[in-house]
Structure 1
Amino acid sequence: MDDGDSSEEVAEQVMSEVHVGCPPHFSGPHISHFTISLPPEVEPTRFNELFKTETDAAEEDDAVYEVKVITFDRDGDLVLPRRKSGQKQWSQFFKMTIQHNVTSSIPSVGLQVWKAELVLSDFVMHKMCISSEFYGIVSLELGAGTGLVGMLLARVARKVFLTDHGDEILDNCAKNVELNSGVFHCRGSVNIRELNWMNPWPPNMSLGDSASQTRYSWNQSELEEVKSAHLLVAADVIYSDDLTDALFSILERLMSLGSEKVLYLALEKRYNFSLSDLDVVANGYSHFRSYLREEGESKSPECGSTPCFVGKHIDLKEIPQYVKEYDRGSDVELWQIKYNKK
């Protein structure tokens, strides 16, 4: 190192597998388009409503539909009717535009798109296609990052809170909501809010001093709405034991409030060589599992009469892939987590 070089080391940069193929050494925000499509094996109960955009809704009343009659020509071949001018046909896909970084420091990983985020997006899309469970609810996304999962939920939910920590990540999330507002968000109310898991609940509320200080602050009515929230979602927030401890601390507070809540959490198991174990292990995953009693297991002594988290592992083979631009691999897991208040 030259004498004139700063003694402060450059922060280590990491890159999500999802971004492989993006321009190398790309600095600043990058735009990616993710195709959300309906797999052939899925027949949604509300297909037209779910895939309808603002433009579709505006044009629906003007659409002209013809009665399709099956006819054959003289040779016995099927005659396919042509679409008349102005006739409306529903597409079975739409695109989400996501602004993200190609690389980031570890504290800023929320600026990237991660594989677990796409797996959770698949799950959310599947639930919206096969049931009405998420319709009209209040939802809270923890560690929202780019906001993709919460934005998909906003299609059917009454209100969605996208929460994360730090202005850079929250500003980027707000930009993504803006980029997709005309494509997919024509119903749900989306709110971007600061939530630092290291701080006590409730978070600081807006005092109305200035726009820069209050744009991601909570107000009293929003904190009351969180009490009535039924759904929490989180993706790729398990990579540091300290962060995992903080996550379950905030979960205990949130899931003790108001109505019964369920968390759907997607994570990627990350393996490292451990000198103490002399083996390749996923210590971060093991620490996460230490917080859960798996559903169906006999109650452990420490969870017999005290509040505890109960987890159910969801088989991803039962969830079709709605997001096309990624490979799931075998190291991503999806969990349903409830809090047993006793």
Structure 2
Amino acid sequence: MDQDEDTQEVLSDVHVHMTHTVITHTYSDTTNTVAVSRFYLKDKTLNEKGNNVNRLQSAHIEVDDDGDLDVTRKPSEDVVAITIEHALQTKLEDVGKQVWQGCLLLADFIIHNQSDFSNATILDLGAGVGLTSIIAGMFARKVFLTDVGAAILNMAEKNVALNQHLFPHGSSVCVRHLDWQQANPFTPTEDGHSNDTSIYQFKETDQPDLLDVTIMLAAEVIYDLDLTESFFRTILNLMSTSPKTLYISLEKRIVFTTHDLDVASPAYEHFCDCLDELVKRSDDQCAFEYSCIPCDFPQFFNYNRTKELELWKIVSRHGKTDK
């Protein structure tokens, strides 16, 4: 990667027409400027699958004299507010700090199929600032919101706190550090560990809930070839232990490659190759299947649902399987 590519910044299409407020946090000697967007969701959306549903719409964010968010929990009796702190323009390595269209696609799917997520224990991989995890937390018993790095985990934890009022009594969304390149990412870290993600490491008390995970989520994690391979190694390890269903959303991004002197989608093509390789790993004890889900379910969020946005389902089935 040359210097221009290394320093180039990217901007999610979600932010282009979205109303937001820019705020600045100061923690010790560190200053962090972020954007804040609020979406409003009619309560009926939580109980009716697509009937007379209003889309989520953005609105102005208020802050107090100290620069802290003035969160309006419910502007009216039938409206739910979802408040998200996020970055606008970032380098490629920090794209998880933004909100991407694939996140909204997956959130739409969860809302429309909320009964499938009700009371479930869910693991969200590469959850970024946490929008999809928060939507899942409105229905699930427990959600593990996972990503890598203290900066993004801090932002995700802030968003969970801002939207705590949306979660049913007894439900929780827990922010955890999970590195796909780590041999055993679920190994608890002993107290006093010095790295900056120590407070987000998985704990011994998480183990029973991790064993109960039946649904996994991943939104917009397919954009780098090496990262995609690490992702598939992770889901292979996770889905080989017990039956699980993974829902993964992505955007098929078309680029011009100097190698082929033509337009192509190398990240998407590599994803498809990894899907086929995963199925080849099936044996008598564990079989993998995948399918592309039609994206004709209702749209609740305000974004441009293009044909390049796709939603995939990967299932692991266990026990004696017929070949």
TM bucket by the smaller chain?
0.7 to 0.9
Instruction: Find the partner of 2:9 among 7, 13, 16.
Output: 13
Instruction: Find the partner of 2:270 among 287, 307, 317.
Output: 287
Q: Residue 225 of structure 2 aligns with which residue?
A: 241
Q: What is the SS of the residue equivalent to 1:182?
A: helix
Q: Does 1:193 align with 2:176?
A: yes
Report the CA distance shift for 1:109/1:145 in structure 2 as closer, same or farther (over 3 A): same
TM-score (norm 1): 0.73
Q: Does 1:124 align with 2:110?
A: yes
Cα deviation 1:126-183 (Å, max 9, x = unaligned): 111xxx3212111000000011111111122111100000000000000101111124
Q: Residue 100 of structure 2 aligns with which residue?
A: 114
Cα deviation 1:255-286 (Å, max 9, x = unaligned): 122x3100000000111112333321111000
Q: Residue 222 of structure 1 aligns with which residue?
A: 206
Q: Does 1:335 align with 2:312?
A: yes
Q: Residue 33 of structure 2 aligns with which residue?
A: 28
> Could you list the runs of 5+ residues in structure 1 that have no partner in the other structure?
1-6, 46-88
Q: What is the SS of the residue equivalent to 2:260?
A: coil
Q: Does 1:136 align with 2:122?
A: no
Instruction: Find the partner of 2:235 among 251, 257, 261.
Output: 251
> Could you list the runs of 5+ residues in structure 2 that have no partner in the other structure?
23-31, 51-75
CA RMSD of aligned residues (A): 3.1
Query: Partners in 2 of 1:331 and 1:9 — Cα distance?
Result: 24
- 1:304 CA displacement: 7.1
Larger Rg: 1
Report the CA distance shift for 1:167/1:213 in structure 2 as closer, same or farther (over 3 A): closer
* Amino acid paired to 1:256: S
TM-score (norm 2): 0.77
Contact preservation (8 Å) 2:290, 2:312:
yes
Report the CA distance shift for 1:328/1:305 in structure 2 as closer, same or farther (over 3 A): same
Query: Partners in 2 of 1:33 and 1:327 — Cα distance?
Result: 18
- 1:9 CA displacement: 9.3
Query: Partners in 2 of 1:173 and 1:322 — Cα distance?
Result: 22
Report the CA distance shift for 1:305/1:22 in structure 2 as closer, same or farther (over 3 A): closer
Contact preservation (8 Å) 2:180, 2:231:
yes
Q: Residue 289 of structure 2 aligns with which residue?
A: 310
Q: Which has the higher strand share?
A: 2
Q: Residue 154 of structure 1 aligns with which residue?
A: 137
Contact preservation (8 Å) 2:103, 2:132:
yes
Query: Partners in 1 of 2:160 and 2:244 — Cα distance?
Result: 25
Query: Partners in 2 of 1:282 and 1:8 — Cα distance?
Result: 21
Contact preservation (8 Å) 2:282, 2:288:
no
Cα deviation 1:43-87 (Å, max 9, x = unaligned): 359xxxxxxxxxxxxxxxxxxxxxxxxxxxxxxxxxxxxxxxxxx
Query: Partners in 2 of 1:145 and 1:222 — Cα distance?
Result: 20
- 1:203 CA displacement: 3.0
Query: Partners in 2 of 1:120 and 1:337 — Cα distance?
Result: 14
Contact preservation (8 Å) 1:292, 1:309:
no
Q: Does 1:169 align with 2:152?
A: yes
Contact preservation (8 Å) 2:179, 2:185:
no
Report the CA distance shift for 1:185/1:111 in structure 2 as closer, same or farther (over 3 A): farther
Contact preservation (8 Å) 1:265, 1:334:
yes
Query: Partners in 2 of 1:312 and 1:237 — Cα distance?
Result: 18
Cα deviation 1:161-219 (Å, max 9, x = unaligned): 00000000000000101111124454421110000001112434131226965310111
Query: Partners in 1 of 2:95 and 2:151 — Cα distance?
Result: 11
Contact preservation (8 Å) 1:201, 1:253:
no
Query: Partners in 2 of 1:120 and 1:38 — Cα distance?
Result: 19
Q: What is the SS of the residue equivalent to 2:145?
A: strand
The structure, 1 or 2, with the larger RCO (C-alpha pairs under 8 Å, 6+ apart) is 1
Query: Partners in 2 of 1:312 and 1:114 — Cα distance?
Result: 22
- 1:110 CA displacement: 0.8
Report the CA distance shift for 1:138/1:184 in structure 2 as closer, same or farther (over 3 A): closer
